[in-house]
Structure 1
Amino acid sequence: MKFNVKKFAAGLAAVMLCAAPAFAAKPLEGQKLKMAVSPTFPPFEFERLDEQGNARIVGYDIDMVDAIAAELGFTYELVHTNFKGLMGELASHRVDFVVSGMSPTEERKKTVDFSVPYYYCQTSIIQHKGTNIKTVADLKGKKIAASFGTQYADFAEAAGAVVAAMDSSTYSMQELLAGRADGVVQDAASASIRVKQHPELEYFVLPQDELDKVQGGNVSDCFAAVFPKGSKLEPLFTEQIEKMQADGTMKAIYEKWIGPWPYDAKPLQGKHYKLAINATFAPFEFAQVNDKGESVITGFDIDVLDAIAAELGFTYEIKDMNFSGLIGELHSGRADFVISGLSDTEERRKSVDFSVPYYFCKTAIISPAAAPVKTMAEMKGKKIATVFGTEYAKVVEASGSIPTLLDNSTMVTQELLNGRVDGAVMDASQAKTKCEQNEGYVYHVIPNEDLESAHYVSGAYSIAFQKGSELIPLFNAQIEKMFAGGRMNELIVKWMGEEFVK
């Protein structure tokens, strides 16, 4: 049989054609879109001169959209406008989408659609050093500049500030630098750049738990791409953003413009634990009725634990019980940890382990103002109440008083208010709270030398764990971080007052 070269070549070509992979066109191949942006918000979008001296808009948001455009096949044109004009450009269909550090608030969702978040933000306050605005409460009555139409301007107004709504964050900064504003509210990534440019300034991140209480929790903690209602672009952008977050592209953009990537898996992500607590120890842990009429446990210890949980990624449930049963609950394995004004003592260490201290306490005696008891010597022969199983019980027993040992501090307070005891021993911050709530009572801090004579060895509270718990080093690192960053002292001031900061 004669070999036909032409037929073989034709057949081979056909086979190769059938076997070749099909390169499908990209979803938006060849399309040119318009994107609205307000380029006055570094590091997200801002103008910078290129090598030829031409002004170009660059930043985190631009790099992200460039990456999405490459995957979907479109090109785009930038439309410059003030931040307050972005939504109008979108509503009038003069642009196809907005990527400009915009948060998906409930109000905005009524008229536009948002992608999944591409950046999780932290609200901060920029100020001259020494201004001392560190919390949401500190904003009340202050002159605060923020970009018009942003959630930052709305939030500052809701917090009681006198708001100067400016056309851009650049103008907001000019108000601050000129002394016409006490502070500027904006994202922490942008704030860090502003502070580097102006060494006379500093910034503080406002706690998210405080932000959540403003405007009914409508202060968003993220940025997303924005589209007209029903736009077919939204699911395509959402898919690409999720892909970029999974494959490391978003991480590379973040590290280029902002710094170390903070969103790697948290050590205890997805874990759920059981907390044993005695919620009768205000201001550390106590029950309070919220706006919905529900009883919730709140206090200093809860705020400390919430901060640790947010950093480590776990959730927890609370089991409220008598103080005397807390160690047994832990030792039996029915609880994973206890944070309930518990002192680290040698006796307790026989059955449980402790974290580093998170609060350094003072011991006080509360008594009627008409018959004050000020020292351990004055306690002798008097009826003194405290909680059974606590270090305070050692103080009462060593004083030569007639002890009344009860299950919780609420019962101790009732004994005092009903006149059945002459005084009650408790933590000084708790005693302060009781005196503020009950007129006619005073408290006195017991001198350290008196406490030493009672073999009172712990002047601090720690978190208790099951023996050998792997949680201890993780919790220790977070407690030390909270002290180093000032967050622990902020919580102490919030719940107790300046005088209880060590």
Structure 2
Amino acid sequence: MTALSARRRTLAAGAVLVAGALLLTGCGDDDKKDDVKSTPSGGTAPTSAGASAPPAGGALFVKLPKQYQDSKVVKIGSEVAYPPVEFKDKDGKTFIGFDIDLAKAIGEKLGVKVEIEDMTFGSLITGLDSKRIDLIMSAMSDNKDRQTGMDEGKKVGDGIDFVDYFNAGGSILVKKGNPQNIKTLDDLCGKTVALQKATTHEETANKQSDKCKADGKGAITIQAYEHDNEALLRVKQGAAAADISDFPVAAYAAQTGGDGNDFEVVGEQIDPGPYGIGVAKNNSQLRDVVKEAVEQLIADGTYGKILEKWNVKQGAVTEVKINGGS
């Protein structure tokens, strides 16, 4: 899988490797983190028991397509395994993270309940195309391939639209102390890199490996895993020299893994670009009202508070663009 099924991206639910260690102290307010709970794969995650949808009939509610006005529900697909963007709390059920908080805030602006379904990352665009979900919020990078439905130079679908809401680049994460003295992608030549498969980071590693070979250096041995926590474990064990992940995720792992003793981030961000909320091409009415909701959240300060709560305000945007990725 390449750009179409990738995000820039995760930490798996059942195997939170540095269990507890990857839960940032104080980042989830106790009175807010029980709003969205997990369900078995294939099910839909409802809001907490007894919670009702926000009152309908507001300015944005009446702009929604009729099907959402009737159901008062918007279904969002996410791979809930990517701290601090979206992941499960210590109970293994409750969904938390800045995507989760932002999704709930968008729902409040729209006057609907959001139901978040935990899905594998590679199935999100398919889920959107099949109408299983209405939106994608899963640290998915907005890029031209996804917008146009291209994969490895071939047309494989209609593509999707994005409402851009956050900026992130890739980061190189190494074992604490940086024993192999890695500072840039060039330093990975001839080494083993562990990462999550079907991500833009896998593409980055493959391109860098080609560059290494062209420069007469050793190729990169790429170990691609279903979830980023598996890649982190390889780095922690010394079996891989580095992991490449999104900057908020890498920074979070460095801060929390082994109480800050397992990992560190090295070098500059790699190819920073926007995360987007994915919307089907034929659902522009929903896309446009979601854009308005995010703009209102930025204007009223809610957006900034959510990012500050999760220590990711470096990725804040001031303008909400449609398909702003390249």
TM-score band w.r.t. shorter chain: 0.5 to 0.7
Hey, what does 1:480 align to over in structure 2?
295
In structure 2, the CA distance between the partners of 1:296 and 1:213, relative to structure 1 (3 Å rule), is closer
In structure 2, the CA distance between the partners of 1:412 and 1:392, relative to structure 1 (3 Å rule), is same
Instruction: Judge conservation of contact 1:435–1:442 (CA < 8 Å) in 2.
Output: yes
SS in 2 for 1:446: strand
1:329 to 113, 122, 127: 127
With a CA cutoff of 8 Å and minimum separation of 6, indicate the structure with the bigger relative contact order.
2
**Following TM superposition, by how much is the alpha carbon of 1:463 offset from its aligned partner in structure 2, in angstroms?**
0.6
Hey, what does 1:467 align to over in structure 2?
281
**Following TM superposition, by how much is the alpha carbon of 1:334 offset from its aligned partner in structure 2, in angstroms?**
1.7
CA distance in 2, matches of 1:411, 1:322: 15
Hey, what does 1:397 align to over in structure 2?
206
Hey, what does 1:252 align to over in structure 2?
none
- 1:2-151 alignment, distance < 5 Å: none
Given the two structures, how large is their TM-score scaled by the length of structure 1? 0.44
Tell whether 2:82 aligns with 1:287. Answer: no
Cα RMSD over matched residues?
2.8
Instruction: Judge conservation of contact 1:275–1:339 (CA < 8 Å) in 2.
Output: yes
SS in 2 for 1:426: strand
CA distance in 1, matches of 2:94, 2:309: 18
- 1:414-429 alignment, distance < 5 Å: 414-429=233-248
CA distance in 2, matches of 1:368, 1:381: 17
2:197 to 361, 373, 388: 388
Tell whether 2:167 aligns with 1:377. Answer: no
**Following TM superposition, by how much is the alpha carbon of 1:314 offset from its aligned partner in structure 2, in angstroms?**
1.5
- CA displacement 1:53-107 (0-9 Å, x = unmatched): xxxxxxxxxxxxxxxxxxxxxxxxxxxxxxxxxxxxxxxxxxxxxxxxxxxxxxx
Q: Partner amino acid for 1:392? A: H
1:278 to 76, 79, 93: 79
CA distance in 2, matches of 1:265, 1:360: 25
Q: Partner amino acid for 1:333? A: K
CA distance in 1, matches of 2:60, 2:204: 46
Tell whether 2:141 aligns with 1:343. Answer: yes
Query: What 5-or-longer segments of structure 1 have no aligned partner?
Result: 1-136, 138-208, 218-261, 452-457
**Following TM superposition, by how much is the alpha carbon of 1:263 offset from its aligned partner in structure 2, in angstroms?**
5.3
CA distance in 1, matches of 2:160, 2:87: 24
Tell whether 2:242 aligns with 1:441. Answer: no
**Following TM superposition, by how much is the alpha carbon of 1:346 offset from its aligned partner in structure 2, in angstroms?**
1.6
Tell whether 2:167 aligns with 1:360. Answer: yes
**Following TM superposition, by how much is the alpha carbon of 1:369 offset from its aligned partner in structure 2, in angstroms?**
2.6
After TM superposition, where is structure 1 displaced by more than 4 Å over at least 4 residues in a row? 209-214, 262-265, 497-502
Query: What 5-or-longer segments of structure 2 have no aligned partner?
Result: 1-25, 36-56, 150-157, 210-219, 318-326
Q: Partner amino acid for 2:191? A: K
Question: Looking at CA atoms only, which structure, 1 or 2, has the larger radius of gyration?
Answer: 1
1:409 to 205, 208, 228: 228
Hey, what does 2:41 align to over in structure 1?
none
Given the two structures, how large is their TM-score scaled by the length of structure 2? 0.66
CA distance in 1, matches of 2:125, 2:87: 19
Identity rate, percent: 23
Instruction: Judge conservation of contact 2:175–2:238 (CA < 8 Å) in 1.
Output: no
Q: Partner amino acid for 1:361? A: A
Hey, what does 1:112 align to over in structure 2?
none
**Following TM superposition, by how much is the alpha carbon of 1:447 offset from its aligned partner in structure 2, in angstroms?**
4.8
**Following TM superposition, by how much is the alpha carbon of 1:483 offset from its aligned partner in structure 2, in angstroms?**
2.3
Hey, what does 1:316 align to over in structure 2?
114
Instruction: Judge conservation of contact 1:375–1:447 (CA < 8 Å) in 2.
Output: no
CA distance in 2, matches of 1:411, 1:321: 18
The aligned length equals 239
CA distance in 1, matches of 2:268, 2:60: 46
